[in-house]
Amino acid sequence: MRRVLRIVGNGIIALVLVLSAVWTNLAIAYQLPEAAGVRIGACLALDVIALAALLAVLLRRRMRWRAVLIYAVAYAIFLGWSISISASNDKNWAADVVHGITGTINGDRLSVRNLRNFGWRTEADFTQRWEQRTYDLSKLRSLDLFLVYWMGPSIAHTIMSFGFEDGRYLDFSIELRRTQDDQYSAIAGFF
């Protein structure tokens, strides 16, 4: 029984090592704001430490806990860096997301600024219209949730739509805010 528990325990530790290393590699590759060589070097350094810890666990080396501890320290450094990344509105945003929407409520009146009401011809060809609108919240009549599936059945764009008595709708979605140089990537979006 003890041997079975040891095998299961080592298997769990190995799985945690592999999954955390994969996650860390992706985060470094997509979030480290350095040249490609620095990102690759950081990934390789982490991978060498993770591989040494994995081999020590799987081969039941005498120093396996020391190897796992060294990996845990490297992972803690990654977590510290990851937590230190702060959001910023001061970037060179793509034209279709250059303004963030803001709103104020005064009694039953909602005033919304920088509402995007573009004329879209193609994804890259559009007429910008940034508007300010006011809505009477006492005249809210419907709330709908839409899921627009765009990358298979697992990834959807969520849209909340608020309908008012006057026939107007206010729709909200949370989307990736790209800078002018960004290419869209579903994987990068998770980081």
Locate 3 and state its tokens: 């041997």
Selection from 99, 103, 83 nearest residue 91 by Cα: 99
Confidence tier at 71 by pLDDT (50, 70, 90): very high
Percent of the chain at pLDDT exceeding 90: 51
Confidence tier at 52 by pLDDT (50, 70, 90): very high
**Residue 102 CB coordination number (10 Å):** 11
Rg (CA), the chain: 24
Residue with tokens 């799985």: 15
190 versus 144: which is more confidently predicted? 144
Per-residue pLDDT reduced to its tens digit, 142-175 = 999 999 887 778 788 889 999 999 999 999 887 7
Q: How far apart are CA 134 and CA 104, in angstroms?
A: 10
Per-residue pLDDT reduced to its tens digit, 3-42 = 888 888 888 989 999 999 999 999 998 888 778 889 899 9
- The pLDDT assigned to 107 comes to 96
Q: What is the CA angle 18-23-27, rounded to 5?
A: 145
pLDDT at position 189 over 80: no
